[in-house]
Chain A
Amino acid sequence: MRSLFAVYIVLAMMPAAAAQDHAGADPYQRVCQLCHGSEGRGDLGPTLVPLGFDADYVLAVVREGYSQMPPISRRELSDDDVRQVVAYLESLSSETASAPALSYDGPRTAAGRPDLNGIWQVLSTAAWDIRAHNAQDGVPAGLGVVEGNDIPYQEWAATQQQANYASRMTADPVRKCYLPGVPRTTYMPFPFRILQTPDHVIMTYEFAHVVRIIYTDGSPHPLPNDFWMGDSRGHWDEDTLVVDTTHFNGQTWFDAAGNFHSDTLHVVERYTPTSSYHIDYEVTIEDPNVFTRPWTMRMPLYRRMEEGLQLLDYDCVDFILQSLTRQGPEEGGAR
Chain B
Amino acid sequence: MRARSFACIATVMAPCLLAPMFAYGGQDGAYEPPRTQWGDPDLRGHYLPGAYQPMETPANDSWRPPEGANRGQGAAFSRFFEPDPDAPPRAARVTTPMVVDPPDGRIPFQPWAAEQRGEVMARQDDLEYLDPRVKCLPSALPRAHLPVGYNTYQIEQIPGYVVMLYEWNHLYRYIPLDGRPHVNADIRLGMGDSRGHWEGNTLVVDVTNFTENTWVVGHGAPPEGAPASALTTGHGAFHSDELHVVERFTLRDADTIHYEVTIEDPQVFTQPWTIAFDALVRAPEDHMLFEYACHEGNGRNISLMTGTDIDAARVHATR
On A, residues with C-beta under 8 Å from B are 110, 117, 169-170, 175-179, 193, 195-197, 200, 202, 204, 209-211, 213, 215, 222, 225, 227-229, 308, 310-313, 315, 317-325, 327, 329, 332-335
Please determine whether A329 and B211 come into contact, CB atoms closer than 8 angstroms. yes
Please determine whether A204 and B137 come into contact, CB atoms closer than 8 angstroms. no
Please determine whether A323 and B314 come into contact, CB atoms closer than 8 angstroms. yes
- A311, B174: Cα distance in complex, Å: 9
- Give the interface centre of A117, A170, A322, A324 by most chain B CB atoms within 10 Å: A324
- Nearest chain B CB to A153 CB, angstrom units: 25
On B, residues with C-beta under 8 Å from A are 37, 116, 120, 127-130, 132, 135-138, 154, 156, 158, 161, 163, 165, 169-172, 174, 176, 180, 183, 187-191, 211-213, 238, 288-291, 293, 295-296, 299, 302, 306, 308, 310-318
- Nearest chain A CB to B262 CB, angstrom units: 21
- Nearest chain B CB to A47 CB, angstrom units: 40
- Nearest chain B CB to A308 CB, angstrom units: 7
- Nearest chain A CB to B198 CB, angstrom units: 19
**A333: which B residues are within 8 A, CB to CB?**
212, 238
Q: Name which residue of chain B comes closest to A251, CB basis.
A: B296
Q: Name which residue of chain A comes closest to B316, CB basis.
A: A323
State the majority secondary structure of interface residues on B: mixed
Please determine whether B183 and A321 come into contact, CB atoms closer than 8 angstroms. no
**B313: which A residues are within 8 A, CB to CB?**
320, 323-324
With A170-B311, A308-B180, A313-B188 as known contacts, state yes or no: A213 contacts B154, CB within 8 Å.
yes
**A175: which B residues are within 8 A, CB to CB?**
314
Which of B176, B296, B317 contacts A178, CB < 8 Å? B296
Total contacts A to B, CB within 8 angstroms?
Answer: 132
Which of B127, B138, B154, B296 contacts A179, CB < 8 Å? B296
**A335: which B residues are within 8 A, CB to CB?**
128-130, 132, 212-213, 238
- Nearest chain A CB to B58 CB, angstrom units: 23
Q: Name which residue of chain A comes closest to B302, CB basis.
A: A324
Please determine whether B291 and A227 come into contact, CB atoms closer than 8 angstroms. yes
Please determine whether B138 and A211 come into contact, CB atoms closer than 8 angstroms. no
With A170-B312, A176-B299, A324-B310 as known contacts, state yes or no: A319 contacts B138, CB within 8 Å.
no
- A197, B314: Cα distance in complex, Å: 39
- Give the interface centre of B127, B313, B315 by most chain A CB atoms within 10 Å: B313
Please determine whether A324 and B127 come into contact, CB atoms closer than 8 angstroms. yes
With A334-B116, A334-B120 as known contacts, state yes or no: A318 contacts B314, CB within 8 Å.
no
Please determine whether A213 and B289 come into contact, CB atoms closer than 8 angstroms. yes
Q: Name which residue of chain B comes closest to A179, CB basis.
A: B293
Please determine whether A332 and B310 come into contact, CB atoms closer than 8 angstroms. no
Known: A227-B290, A319-B317, A332-B213. 8 other contacts (CB 8 A): A195-B158, A210-B170, A211-B170, A318-B190, A324-B306, A324-B308, A334-B120, A335-B213
Please determine whether A170 and B129 come into contact, CB atoms closer than 8 angstroms. no
Q: Name which residue of chain A comes closest to B131, CB basis.
A: A335
- A176, B171: Cα distance in complex, Å: 18
Please determine whether B129 and A228 come into contact, CB atoms closer than 8 angstroms. no
Q: Name which residue of chain A comes closest to B291, CB basis.
A: A227
Please determine whether A318 and B165 come into contact, CB atoms closer than 8 angstroms. no
A-B contact pairs, 11 of them (CB 8 A): A169-B315, A195-B158, A196-B158, A209-B171, A210-B170, A211-B289, A308-B180, A313-B190, A317-B135, A324-B127, A335-B238
Which of B171, B174, B188 contacts A310, CB < 8 Å? B174
**B161: which A residues are within 8 A, CB to CB?**
195
- Nearest chain A CB to B24 CB, angstrom units: 26
Q: Name which residue of chain A comes closest to B214, CB basis.
A: A335
